Structure formats: structure tokens, C-alpha cells
């Protein structure tokens, strides 16, 4: 496969519906993150073609129905796919399910090999990839989530690269979330949401980024990071203001940790407001 053709598959994660609510507020079907395990597809000499398992953090607080997920490797070569791109669909290679919210992306799949063979006669083996793969090129994956009458389509990327920068990275082993001091929360009270990352970091220069979500109340910022663009340490907490009046059901929270190198982890927590 030509590196130029592969590089044109780049796109940012686009997992939100068109009728957007506040990004941190979750009231209906959402896909808050997609994790790949391992987080990269690395072409190792004489090791065969790599594979990874994709898992979605798909949630539906409305309890409209059981959530189902479908993933596909997109076959349209574009740097900015239209939201209506049928992937999954006519422009995708459907990926086999490996769990309720998971699918397996295996470059040994004959259907993927057939797709690759049509791209300027290229192949996905290490001998057929141009030198730019040393830096890594993104592959586009489309997904469809369904819950009752709701449907949500989006895209994620996974990097395909050579082994020039070493073996595949790994996902963070865990992340936790502290909600205030763990005590009683009253209506309109503001408390801190403090992510708790796994320690130690595998690389001290790695920046952890966090995204915050809740089913009620107001979050001061969707994202935080522990290292600024200039390399300085930064606080990772954000403020959450409880709703008024207090909701009858506990509030659900999610924090998603991304390590900037493809690794992803998340956790869900709940808290009651009185």
C-alpha cells in the first residue's frame, strides 16, 4: 500500500451526533471514546501482519434499549470523510465482533488484503510499505452505535507504522476519579473532579490528557492535561456544579485518559446529590 494513499486516511475522532448538546453532558446515546488494544498496528519484520481489538465506551443514560456496536475499516481514501460516509456500509469492511462493544481489526483478514491490493497494487506487508511508515500513518475506522430508536455514527483512527520506533505501545492500566472529598453533595454545590492516573508513568515526558462527562450538573471544562504545551506541570482537576433541584437518580460520571500516543483508559463513577 502506498504511503500517500494511507496518509490520506487521517481524521480526528468524530463520535458526537449532529444535534450537539454540551459535550460534557450525557443524556442520550454517546460514544465517549474508542480504545484499541494494542493502541498501534506495528509491522514487525517476519512477524506477520498485526491485529488489534477495538472497544467503544458506549453509554445511554436514557436506557432506551440495549446498546449494540458495529465497526468497519473504511475503504474510501479521503482526509475528511463526510458524516454520511457509509462506513460501516458500502464504503467499509465490517469487522468481526469480539464482545458487546468490541470488534477485531486483523490485517490478515482476506477482505482487508483484497482492499489493500486495489490501492495502486500495494500490499500491507513490511516489504511493500514506503519509508514514511516509520512515522506512522492513520487508518480510518467507522462505527455505528444503536440503542432503541437511537443511532450514532462516528469515526476513529488507529496508527499503522513500521517497527522503527520500537514495539507497539500499551494502554494505561487504569484511571480513577475522585468526586469532591467523597462525602455528601448538596444541590448547587461545586466540587472538584480529580482524575487519578496510574503511576509511575512509563515515560515521564508523556502527557496525560483527560476528558470529563456527567449525566447532570455542569462541568467547568471538558478537558484537562497534566503537562502544558511548554512542558510545565498543570493541575488536572475540573469543577463540577451539582444540579438544582437534586436529581432523583445518582449522577453518573466518566473520565477518559489519553496518553497522546494512542493509549486510552476510562472509568465510570456515581454520586448522589441531596
> Can you give the pLDDT of all 274 residues of the chain as single tens digits?
333 333 333 333 334 444 456 899 999 999 999 999 999 999 888 788 899 999 999 999 988 779 999 999 998 766 577 888 999 999 999 999 999 999 999 999 999 888 776 654 444 444 444 556 888 888 899 999 999 999 999 999 998 898 988 888 899 999 999 999 999 999 999 999 999 999 889 888 899 999 999 999 999 999 999 999 888 999 999 999 999 999 999 999 999 999 999 999 999 999 999 9
pLDDT the model gives residue 20: 54
Kindly list the domain boundaries of the chain, sorted by start residue: 3-165, 176-271
**Matching CATH topology for 3-165 and 176-271?**
yes
pLDDT the model gives residue 92: 95
In sequence order, the β-bridge partners of residue 102 are 55, 99
pLDDT the model gives residue 80: 73
pLDDT the model gives residue 60: 96
262 conformational bin, left if phi > 0, alpha if psi -120 to 50, beta if neither: left
Q: In CATH, what class is 176-271?
A: mainly beta
pLDDT the model gives residue 229: 87
Q: In CATH, what class is 3-165?
A: mainly beta
In sequence order, the β-bridge partners of residue 80 are none
What 3-state DSSP class applies to 112?
A: helix
Cα separation, 43 vs 83, in Å, equals 30
What count of other Cβ atoms lies within 10 Å of the Cβ of residue 140? 26
pTM: 0.87
pLDDT the model gives residue 133: 83
Give the single-character DSSP code of 107.
T
Judge whether 122 and 128 are in contact, CB under 8 Å. yes
pLDDT the model gives residue 136: 83
Peptide bond into 200 cis (omega under 30): yes
Contacts of 180 (CB under 8 A, 6+ apart): 191, 192, 271
pLDDT the model gives residue 247: 94
What 3-state DSSP class applies to 263?
A: coil
Amino acid at each position: 500500500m502506498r504511503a500517500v494513499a494511507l496518509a490520506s486516511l487521517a481524521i480526528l475522532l468524530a463520535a458526537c451526533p449532529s444535534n450537539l448538546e454540551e459535550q460534557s453532558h450525557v443524556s442520550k446515546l454517546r460514544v465517549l471514546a474508542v480504545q484499541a488494544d494494542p493502541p498501534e498496528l506495528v509491522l514487525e519484520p517476519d512477524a506477520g501482519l498485526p491485529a488489534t481489538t477495538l472497544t467503544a465506551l458506549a453509554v445511554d443514560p436514557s436506557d432506551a434499549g440495549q446498546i449494540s456496536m458495529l465497526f468497519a475499516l473504511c475503504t474510501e481514501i479521503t482526509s475528511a470523510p463526510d458524516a454520511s460516509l457509509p462506513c460501516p456500509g458500502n464504503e467499509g469492511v465490517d469487522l468481526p465482533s469480539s464482545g458487546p462493544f468490541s470488534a477485531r481489526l486483523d490485517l490478515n483478514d482476506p477482505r482487508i488484503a483484497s482492499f489493500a491490493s486495489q490501492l495502486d497494487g500495494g500490499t500491507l506487508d513490511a516489504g511493500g510499505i514506503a519509508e514514511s511508515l516509520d512515522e506512522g500513518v492513520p487508518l480510518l475506522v467507522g462505527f455505528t452505535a444503536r440503542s432503541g430508536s437511537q443511532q450514532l455514527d462516528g469515526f476513529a483512527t488507529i496508527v499503522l507504522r513500521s517497527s522503527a520506533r520500537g514495539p507497539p505501545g500499551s494502554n494505561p492500566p487504569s484511571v480513577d476519579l475522585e468526586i469532591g472529598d467523597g462525602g455528601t453533595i448538596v444541590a448547587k454545590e461545586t466540587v472538584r473532579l480529580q482524575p487519578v492516573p496510574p503511576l509511575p508513568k512509563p515515560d515521564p515526558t508523556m502527557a496525560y490528557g483527560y476528558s470529563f462527562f456527567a449525566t447532570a450538573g455542569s462541568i467547568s471544562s471538558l478537558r484537562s492535561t497534566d503537562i502544558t504545551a511548554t512542558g510545565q506541570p498543570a493541575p488536572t482537576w475540573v469543577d463540577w456544579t451539582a444540579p438544582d433541584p437534586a436529581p432523583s437518580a445518582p449522577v453518573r460520571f466518566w473520565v477518559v485518559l489519553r496518553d497522546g500516543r494512542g493509549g486510552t483508559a476510562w472509568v465510570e463513577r456515581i454520586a448522589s446529590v441531596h
